[in-house]
């Protein structure tokens, strides 16, 4: 039986806009198991983005608990949380979020700085990750000199910089053509199958979600349906 790596227990997130309260999450309970591939689906406004922030420990809930391994994130200060999050979780965003003034190598090295990795190791590890995603010949290229697919592969390499246990992919193929998107999805599958990474992928595309072991459907800030796509434990 696989252990829980991220657990949300009756999580609410309430945003206050003047006198109006918006319940982005309404009692979301979710258990992410170590080494699983989980897809999260839902229509626009269902709370997917807020759920990603919670699963990735980028924000704290208004009510409820979030556990990352043995840590209750509500009891950590921001610097402690950032340090633990930086080690355990890698993020892949739809917009890539690469820093335009940095080379591909430098973008990948950046997360390692905050974990106190030496410069020599940062360079070596970033170069190996670029080779891993098939961009060893683009080491000195800046984002504007790369195609969308190449930028997303740099973003994947950056997400792996600190060898995280969990990779969170937020609409990772949303800005890519279908062929490039299929390549990115194939790489995520490879990370899961051969590296035993825990993958949490947020998508609106049912065909993409089929590659996951489990799909959770969000509506109005809570899970309304769960689907086991593959026979697991």
Q: 200: domain CATH number?
A: 3.40.50.300
Dmax of the chain from CA atoms?
A: 54
- Residue 2 lies inside a defined structural domain of this protein: no
- Residue 107 lies inside a defined structural domain of this protein: yes
Task: Say how many CA atoms lie within 13 Å of 57 toward its Cβ.
Answer: 31
List the single range of 10-14, 60-64, 181-185, 198-202 with lowest mean pLDDT: 181-185
Residue 96: name the closest of 197, 203, 177, 176 by CA: 176
pLDDT at 179 over 90: no
- Token pair for 233: 């434990």
- Residue 75 lies inside a defined structural domain of this protein: no
What is the extent of the structural domain holding 182? 36-49+82-228
* 44-68 CB burial, b ≥16 within 10 A, e <16: eebbbebbbbbbbbbebbeebebbb
Q: Are 61 and 25 in contact (CB under 8 A)?
A: yes
DSSP state of 5: E
pLDDT tens across 94-130, in order? 888 999 999 999 999 999 998 999 999 999 999 999 9
Residue 7: name the closest of 48, 49, 61 by CA: 61
- Residue 61 lies inside a defined structural domain of this protein: no
Total structural domains within the chain: 1
């Amino acid at each position: 039986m696989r252990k829980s790596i991220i657990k949300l227990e009756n999580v609410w997130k309430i945003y206050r806009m003047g006198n109006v309260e918006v319940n982005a999450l309404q009692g979301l309970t979710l258990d992410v198991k170590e080494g699983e591939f989980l897809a999260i689906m839902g229509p626009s406004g269902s709370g997917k983005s807020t759920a990603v922030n919670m699963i990735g420990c980028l924000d704290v809930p208004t009510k409820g608990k979030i556990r990352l391994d043995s840590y209750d994130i509500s009891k950590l200060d921001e610097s402690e949380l950032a340090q633990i999050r930086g080690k355990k979780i890698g993020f892949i965003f739809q917009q890539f979020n690469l820093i335009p003034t940095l080379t591909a190598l430098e973008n990948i090295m950046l997360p390692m700085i905050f974990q106190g990795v030496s410069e020599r190791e940062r360079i070596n590890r970033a170069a190996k990750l670029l080779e891993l995603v098939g961009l060893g010949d683009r080491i000195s290229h800046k984002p504007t000199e790369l195609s969308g697919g190449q930028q997303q592969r740099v973003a994947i390499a950056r997400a792996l910089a600190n060898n995280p246990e969990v990779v969170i992919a937020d609409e990772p193929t949303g800005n890519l053509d279908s062929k490039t998107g299929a390549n990115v999805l194939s790489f995520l599958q490879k990370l899961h199958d051969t590296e035993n990474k825990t993958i949490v992928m947020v998508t609106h595309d049912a065909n993409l979600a089929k590659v996951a072991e489990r799909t959770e459907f969000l509506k109005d800030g809570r899970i309304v349906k769960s689907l086991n796509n593959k026979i697991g434990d």
